[in-house]
């Protein structure tokens, strides 16, 4: 079902300052930056390492671009810090099907286009011991029944 920890999402108030922290303290470099209007965030992906399945593990830094975005509301309630964990899978659509009978509520069904052209969905934190959990298939990795990330709406 899962092949790796794809990324850890970290909510922050100031993306540039947070990127500089992870760069100067840990040596992580930014490999991708984008604005996701659908989720109301500006994000940076910092590659931590490669994985045996050809994917990678990242830190995803998320700065809200509007005060009513989900991440902005989360920061107001919890402060800056870990927002979610994402597990990589070669077929996010199959994972959604597998999970239907196991209880976790799927928040984007069908999965949607997400960071770096990936396909993703989230599982409700109340069904995952308080952890917002993302399931993601990297761009070019999707082995599902022909659904391509480019054909999906932006999350």
Residue 87 dihedral angles phi and psi, to the nearest 5°: -105, 135
Residue 3 · residue 53 · CB < 8 Å: yes
Catalytic annotation, pick one of 39, 63, 83, 84: 84
80 is catalytic: no
83 is catalytic: no
Which residues lie closer than 8 Å to 5 by C-beta, 6 or more apart?
57, 85, 86, 87, 88
Which residues lie closer than 8 Å to 96 by C-beta, 6 or more apart?
106, 109, 110, 111, 121, 135
Catalytic annotation, pick one of 39, 43, 93, 141: 43
| DSSP 8-state code for residue 79 | -
21 is catalytic: no
Dihedral Cα 147, 49, 14, 16, nearest 10 deg: -110
Catalytic annotation, pick one of 93, 112, 134, 141: 134
102 is catalytic: no
- Measured CA to CA, the distance from residue 101 to residue 45 in angstroms comes to 32
39 is catalytic: no
Q: Just list the catalytic residues.
A: 7, 43, 60, 84, 134
């Amino acid at each position: 079902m899962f092949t790796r920890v794809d990324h850890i999402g970290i909510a922050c108030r100031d993306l540039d300052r947070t990127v500089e922290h992870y760069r100067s303290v840990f040596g992580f470099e930014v490999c991708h930056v984008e604005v996701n209007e659908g989720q109301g965030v500006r994000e940076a992906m910092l590659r931590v390492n490669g994985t045996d399945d050809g994917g990678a593990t990242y830190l995803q830094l998320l700065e809200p671009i509007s005060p009513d975005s989900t991440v902005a509301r989360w920061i107001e309630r919890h402060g800056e810090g870990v927002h979610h964990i994402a597990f990589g899978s070669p077929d996010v659509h199959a994972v959604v099907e597998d999970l239907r009978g196991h209880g976790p509520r799927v928040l984007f069904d069908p999965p949607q286009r997400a960071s770096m052209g990936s396909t993703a969905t989230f599982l409700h934190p109340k069904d995952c011991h308080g952890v917002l959990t993302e399931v993601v298939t990297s761009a070019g990795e999707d082995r599902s029944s022909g659904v391509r990330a480019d054909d999906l709406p932006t999350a």
